[in-house]
Homo-oligomer: A and B are copies of this chain.
């Protein structure tokens, strides 16, 4: 046999030079908006701690507004979110020694048992911009002095009728059904993004109950046939994304493989379209059913974990439509879709983790024709990110 293992793969398909900064983005892209919590997870007078891209953040709601502060007391470094201590609507008090910070500015306003202390007014912890709409809370994570971008620039673009005859709802609009789940995945955020957007990964779903029960004709994979199959979208001052143009004839929907005899059993055609947006949020139009959409975020937590957000979005102009969406969400979308179907994706991402993290996978991978889509995303993230997140001091993990 003349060929030797792995060394022979065509490296021209793996042009790591073109997205070198992406390879360094172990802790995520910085200066972007990331979802931090669902609104129902943050009741009044409770402190919730999250970690995003290595930033430890304490969320606190007061008088309806959401505040985000660094989640380490300046005094002796405990996470303030470990025990909620909320006396007023203006302050966050650390449960340990009563260091009390202004919610607005993070400045030390008093120490419970040392009210005349010289440190008061001199110490400050950093704050983060927040945004809340339709049941979701976002935080702008990155450099303290970076002016936040509009949140719309970090979400998938609004789909208009020019792009789809039956455009799906926009996440931030009123009269929009928005509901979902999030959970921690044991892989780097980039492996999660790449799994989701990859038109070859759908093989892992070929035997899924959602597909089999609805008799959907899901391909073994979608093979791009021309560079134009993958469109880079750059909205001025707005979203930057990359779309698989499944609405064109530029993809081969592979339904059978001659060598192995494997073929698709489902009979029902189902149209969907996927696009991935900086800093890592996918829009799946017409999924899990036509007219609805699924948003997914792969929020960097630390170098080896991401928070996997799955949100169903639909237009509901009436109370009756909302009740129907809720009925379908509870009894179909969440159990069969978000949990079971997408559970396979979590499995696949985690299966890549040791190869990429410990076995030099970024240089050893052998990409194929399907991966031009993944490479497209890597280039997009390299071109449009607002900075590569540095590891935190001490590189602590979630």
A77 interface residue per 8 A CB criterion: yes
Q: How far is the CB of A393 from chain B (nearest CB, A)?
A: 5
A55 sits at the interface (CB 8 A): no
Stretch at the interface among A129-137, A146-154, A252-260, A329-337: A252-260
* Interface: A76 (CB within 8 A): yes
Known: A3-B122, A77-B352. Contact between A203 and B361, CB under 8 A?
A: no
State whether the Cβ of A185 lies closer than 8 Å to any Cβ in chain B: no
Nearest Cβ on chain B to A163's Cβ, whole angstroms: 26
Interface flag for A82 (CB, 8 Å): yes
Q: Establish whether residues A97 and B370, one from each chain, have CB atoms under 8 Å apart when the complex forms.
A: yes
Task: Find chain B residues with CB under 8 A from A107 CB.
Answer: 1, 3
Q: Are B96 and A348 in contact (CB under 8 A)?
A: yes
Chain B minimum-CB-distance residue to A100: B260
| B5 with A70: CB separation less than 8 A | yes
Contact assessment for B70 and A122 in the assembled complex, using a CB-CB cutoff below 8 Å: no
Given contacts A112-B254, A113-B223, 14 further A-B contacts (CB under 8 A): A5-B126, A6-B74, A9-B122, A72-B355, A78-B351, A82-B347, A87-B261, A91-B260, A98-B257, A110-B260, A113-B221, A113-B370, A123-B366, A354-B396
Given contacts A82-B351, A361-B77, A393-B359, contact A220 B98 (CB under 8 A): yes
Q: Are A114 and B77 in contact (CB under 8 A)?
A: no
Given contacts A95-B203, A200-B97, contact A122 B369 (CB under 8 A): no
Q: Is A8 an interface residue (CB 8 A)?
A: yes
Interface residues in A98-132 by Cβ distance below 8 A to B read 98-100, 105-107, 109-119, 121-126
Residues of A within 8 A of B (CB): 1, 3-6, 8-10, 13, 70, 72, 74-79, 82-83, 87-88, 91, 93, 95-100, 105-107, 109-119, 121-126, 144, 198, 200-201, 203-204, 219-223, 254, 257-262, 347-348, 351-352, 354-356, 358-361, 364-370, 393-396
Residue of B nearest to A97 (CB): B200
In the complex, what residue of chain B is closest to A224 when comparing beta carbons?
B114
Cα distance A99–B105 in the bound complex, in angstroms: 54
**How far is it, in angstroms, between the C-alpha of A261 and the C-alpha of B113 when the chains are bound?**
12
**Contact status B364-A5, CB under 8 Å:** no
Q: Which residues from chain B contact A113 at a C-beta distance below 8 Å? A: 200, 203, 219-223, 254, 257, 370
